[in-house]
Amino acid sequence: MKALIFETFGGPEVLRYAEIPDPLLTPGTVLVRTQAIGLNFADIYRRRGNYHLSGQPPYILGYEGAGIVERVAEDVRDIQVGDRIAFADVPYANAELVAVPRERAVPLPADIAYEQAAGVLLQGMTAHYLVNDSYRVQPGDDILVHAAAGGVGQLLTQLCKIKGARVIGLTSTDAKRAIAQAAGADEVLLYGSDWTAGVLQWSADQQGVQAAYDSVGSTLMSSFAAVRTKGTVVFYGMAGGDPAPVDPRMLMDTSKTLTGGDLWNHVTSRENRIERARALFDLLRSGQLKTERFKRFALQDGAEAHKLLESRNSTGKILLIP
């Protein structure tokens, strides 16, 4: 099969398209011929060597995709050859064939395109647990969403609005501000402004928002300043660098809550991931959840896709097409 591989850590130039052996079909797995593959920042971190990679080179990136089942292990009874499935946490996805464990295979309805599934599943399930598990958004809440023009940010904004909340977003440019507004944000401020004061001024009683979703990291203390007494800050990413240490006495004095978020602590069974995926598919089907137009690259042009994502000039999901 063909795959996008790399043998040393570094920039996008280390990636190359090569012929390698097909993955083995082991017990409990199905072999999927990929039709669309999602590109995520985690792929960049692994390519650079920031994240641990097991095994020996050549390495294959990618954890998210959708495709058609081509072979099924003898002990797998509920998935058949020809079935359409999606997955969001299966390694070595930057390839024509991927061995997908049964417990991570999400059935893909006929009316959900492969590209839709590969473009929304990982980021969509992240947004889903954030608004339902980390902080349960309620009607009438004021919510702050960092990086509101990003993939998770746009979906998070929409899910908050569906739940009846008001949303104020943060972006780095006017162009991204327009994207966040198109996703439904009631107001959008720029990082270069005094946005903490702006959030307080915007909130219903000027006391701050009920919750802030912070994926930037370096902004964590400013997020605390923007939430009200007894408010919540959900920390789930470090795109802008490590956060400053948090003094527990500040939490005691303000009755504010800091909670962390990692998708794989919330999606712990096949049943749960299927339930969350179905909720997302239902919202896509009804038109309540919309995605920005996907940017498509051939898998063999994966290095160019990495360059675009790494430049932070891209706002929509990037897909690799075998």
pLDDT in tens, 189-227: 999 999 999 999 999 999 999 999 999 999 999 999 999
Q: What is the pLDDT of residue 239?
A: 81
Structure tokens at 152: 């998770």
Range in 61-70, 71-80, 210-219, 258-267 the model is least confident about: 258-267
pTM given for the model? 0.92
201 φ/ψ sector (left φ>0, alpha ψ -120 to 50, else beta): alpha
Domain with CATH 3.90.180.10 in the chain: 2-121+265-321
**Higher-scoring residue by pLDDT: 315, 23:** 23
Instruction: Examine residue 245 and say whether the peptide bond preceding it is cis (omega within 30 degrees of 0).
Output: no
In the predicted model, what is the mean pLDDT of the chain? 94
**Residue 56 reports pLDDT greater than 90:** no
Q: What is the pLDDT of residue 240?
A: 85
Alpha carbon distance 30, 98 (integer Å)? 8
- DSSP 8-state code for residue 132: I
**Higher-scoring residue by pLDDT: 150, 138:** 138
> Which fold is adopted by the domain 2-121+265-321?
Quinone Oxidoreductase; Chain A, domain 1 (3.90.180)
Closest CA to 233 of 225, 224, 242: 224
**Residue 97 reports pLDDT greater than 90:** yes
Alpha carbon distance 91, 79 (integer Å)? 20
**Residue 312 reports pLDDT greater than 90:** no
Q: What is the pLDDT of residue 86?
A: 98
Alpha carbon distance 308, 305 (integer Å)? 5
Structure tokens at 172: 């780095």
175 φ/ψ sector (left φ>0, alpha ψ -120 to 50, else beta): alpha
For domain 139-260, the CATH superfamily is NAD(P)-binding Rossmann-like Domain (3.40.50.720)
CA 261 to chain centre: 12
Domain with CATH 3.40.50.720 in the chain: 139-260
Closest CA to 104 of 92, 120, 91, 90: 90
**Residue 311 reports pLDDT greater than 90:** no
Angle at 163 between CA 205 and CA 186, to 5 degrees: 50
Q: Which residues contact 238 (CB under 8 A, 6 or more apart)?
A: 215, 216, 217, 218
**Residue 259 reports pLDDT greater than 90:** yes
